[in-house]
Amino acid sequence: MTAASGEEFAASGTATGGGTRPVGRRLPRPRTSFVGREYEIAEARDLLECNRLLTLTGPGGCGKTRLAIALAAGAADHFAQGVQFVSLAAIRDPSLVPVSIAQGIGLQDARGRSLLEHLSGYVGDGDVLLVLDNFEQVLAAGEFVSELLDATGRLRVLVTSRSPLHVSGEQEFPVPPLALPEGGPGTTAAAVAGCESVRLFAERAAASVPGFTVNDQNAEAVAGIVDRLDGLPLAIELAAARVKLLPPAEILARLDNSLGLLVSGSRDLPARQRTLRATIAWSHELLSDSARRLLAVCSVFRGGIALDVIESVCAEAAGLRIPVLDAAGELVDHSLLRQAAAAPGGGPRFAMLESVRESAALARQGRPGPARARARQLPGRAGLLPEGGPGRRVATGQPAHGLLVRARPLLGGTAAPGRPARPGPGRRHRAGGRPQRRRVARGRSG
């Protein structure tokens, strides 16, 4: 049968209401190729072997579902009683999750038993892998997943969600962006040929323009596109579809308005996956009001933001009604704020994907809080400017005006020359070798 997301399902084996254990597999068969992710699959497979609940987390469009399908397909031989895939994208009520799981694996008649008893009795002690896709809007159902695991002997659950479930025994695996190329002036096709983000762009562009390839004439622009899009697979696919209308250099030139440019014409995709703006807006809807306010204020900062700034400048500007660390933790949980490399001797630091920052910046227009944040950034940041203003000198002996110019990217202004440097969200591909690996898994026990 055909899924609403434009994927076909491969199913084998039968399920009945009489308690027959699942046999075979039921997994979507995506119609497009799966590019890269060899290292993530290897790491996630190791974690799945050691943990009964593995949650793939990350921002919308980072490829969680495709990674989960590839991981489940590769691990299917280790689950004698089958692999079952259940999409939760269409539901918003956590109480409907048990019914959705039962229907998804083919169970119908509970015969007077609770759904927990019915499902656990059906699975029993069988080696079963249950994949639950798009869990972020029904997080309260995490308790049911935990109870189901307790009631079964060998069941393993693989979840995709923009936020972890926060239940005992959960192992989180943050899905990173695709590896980025070492681009720049004079970039050649050979230098970026093995980079997975470039490969994805090339394959999806060829689907729109048969015969499209990355060559020495467009390699620099293609490398610039995937870098500007932070290696986010959905954004790269949407940009590649524009090759039918614009050459790569023109696409790159228009990416300052990436949310308006990156729109899909695919009618069989869920609405929230047809535009980058809709994908990010879906995450925004799931936030508390305090987290939304903090996200809007943090979007003022380009190039990352230190925790002490979040706790002082941003918390005051946002007018939070909850502890600032709780609001920041919610943004991290929903993959809208992520840990970044700290400066030598500095404290914790965070950053946003540029597409997330751009969306949050649009949402903050008209709010008074961010305006106050802009006014307070420089005097509050590590002595960038003294209390007396730009006419005085700081302890280093540098004119305060010079520090103001250097700090302009923090105010959301324009740095010269070019775009402000961003902390790299993913690995960097090195021509002729492996991309740099990053250990990203975080465990949780209780």
Give the pLDDT confidence of 69-89 residue by residue, as tens digits.
999 999 988 898 889 999 998
Question: Which of 262, 279, 296 finishes a domain?
Answer: 279
Q: What does the pLDDT look like over 206-245, one tens digit per residue?
A: 999 999 999 999 999 999 999 988 899 988 988 898 898 8
pLDDT at 412: 40
pLDDT at 411: 37
The domain spanning residue 334 has which CATH number? 1.10.10
- Is residue 389 a part of any domain in this protein? no
Least Cα distance to 446 among 132, 152, 53 occurs for 53
pLDDT at 429: 55
In our burial notation (b when 16+ CB lie closer than 10 A, e otherwise), range 245-264 reads: eeebeebbeebeebbebbeb
pLDDT of 381 above 80 = no
Confidence of residue 280 (pLDDT cuts 50, 70, 90): confident
Least Cα distance to 63 among 35, 31, 88 occurs for 35
Q: What does the CA dihedral 338, 343, 345, 350 come to, rounded to 10 degrees?
A: -20
Question: Which of 330, 347, 381 finishes a domain?
Answer: 381
pLDDT at 101: 93
State the helix-helix crossing angle for 115-123 and 142-151, rounded to 10 degrees: 50
Give the predicted TM-score (pTM) of the model: 0.74
pLDDT of 337 above 50 = yes
φ and ψ at residue 131, rounded to 5 degrees: -105, 120
Same domain, 16 and 77: yes
Confidence of residue 436 (pLDDT cuts 50, 70, 90): very low
pLDDT at 151: 93
On whether the CB atoms of residues 231 and 177 are closer than 8 A, the answer is yes
Domain range spanning residue 113? 8-174
Same domain, 217 and 149: no
Confidence of residue 375 (pLDDT cuts 50, 70, 90): very low
The dihedral through the CA atoms of 122, 125, 129, 130 has a sign that is positive
Least Cα distance to 25 among 86, 91, 88, 76 occurs for 76
Confidence of residue 319 (pLDDT cuts 50, 70, 90): confident
Question: Which of 248, 279, 310 finishes a domain?
Answer: 279
On whether the CB atoms of residues 31 and 7 are closer than 8 A, the answer is yes
Same domain, 167 and 222: no
Query: What is the rounded average pLDDT for all residues in the chain?
Result: 76
Same domain, 86 and 144: yes
Position with higher pLDDT, 262 vs 190: 190
